[in-house]
């Protein structure tokens, strides 16, 4: 090949390579902007726990199901307003009273049942033990079942049965330290159980 043609070909290849590189950068920038703008994950309101927060589970045949964290002092009416739910026509599933003034507490489960052409029903209950433990929420020692206790790290079926036997025999536990009356639970083991249980 002649020297002039070779130089001309190299220049064209260089220009082409630069053009391809610039095109790739522009496409990457546009894609990155487009992705950031349209596909960024929005922050979930009340989706993060805090020190003073209570965990509230919403369930039922509504789209707003999930677990929310609110500061203490919220009422059911506040929650339903936040969820853009018409709470003025609510009816409690267990009574004819208006449940909207209910003060929310940690571990509450609210089941909303919307029915066609009828007032929605609200059922109030508690979160499952597995949900509470997954959220680092302790279980009430005076209310837990055998199945709940077995979920607690450090408690097997034998120990769970002993705890329930002591509760049935002696009545409600007054403090967590009452567990040390049970054979096999001493101070060191009690300290390991403390984050998972309360009285």
CB 62, CB 112: distance < 8 Å: yes
Q: What's the CATH fold of domain 53-129?
A: Ubiquitin-like (UB roll) (3.10.20)
| The pLDDT of residue 175 | 96
For residue 28, what pLDDT is reported?
77
Q: Does domain 138-198 have CATH number 3.20.20.70?
A: no
For residues 112 and 106, the answer to whether their CB atoms sit within 8 Å is no
> Residue ranges of the domains in the chain?
1-40, 53-129, 138-198
Per-residue pLDDT, 125: 93
Taking every pair of C-alpha atoms in the chain, what is the biggest distance, in angstroms? 105
Q: What is the mean pLDDT of each run of 10 residues along the chain (199 residues)?
A: 60 79 80 55 62 90 89 88 69 61 92 79 92 94 96 96 96 95 94 96
């Amino acid at each position: 090949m002649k020297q002039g043609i070779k130089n001309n070909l190299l220049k064209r290849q260089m220009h082409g390579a630069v053009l391809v590189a610039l095109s790739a950068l522009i496409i990457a920038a546009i894609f990155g902007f487009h992705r950031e703008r349209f596909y960024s994950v929005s922050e979930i309101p009340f989706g993060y726990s805090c020190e003073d927060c209570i965990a509230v589970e919403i369930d039922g045949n509504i789209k707003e199901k999930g677990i929310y964290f609110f500061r203490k002092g919220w009422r059911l009416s506040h929650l339903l307003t936040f969820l853009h739910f018409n709470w003025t026509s609510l009816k409690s599933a267990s009574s004819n009273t208006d449940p909207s003034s209910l003060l929310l507490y940690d571990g509450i489960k609210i089941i909303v049942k919307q029915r066609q052409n009828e007032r929605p029903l609200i059922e109030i209950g508690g979160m499952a033990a597995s949900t509470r433990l997954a959220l680092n929420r302790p279980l009430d020692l005076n209310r837990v079942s055998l199945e709940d206790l077995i979920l607690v790290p450090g408690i097997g079926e034998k120990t769970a049965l002993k705890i329930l036997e002591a509760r049935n025999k002696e009545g409600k536990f007054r403090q967590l330290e009452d567990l040390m009356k049970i054979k096999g639970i001493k101070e060191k083991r009690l300290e390991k159980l403390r984050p998972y249980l309360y009285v």
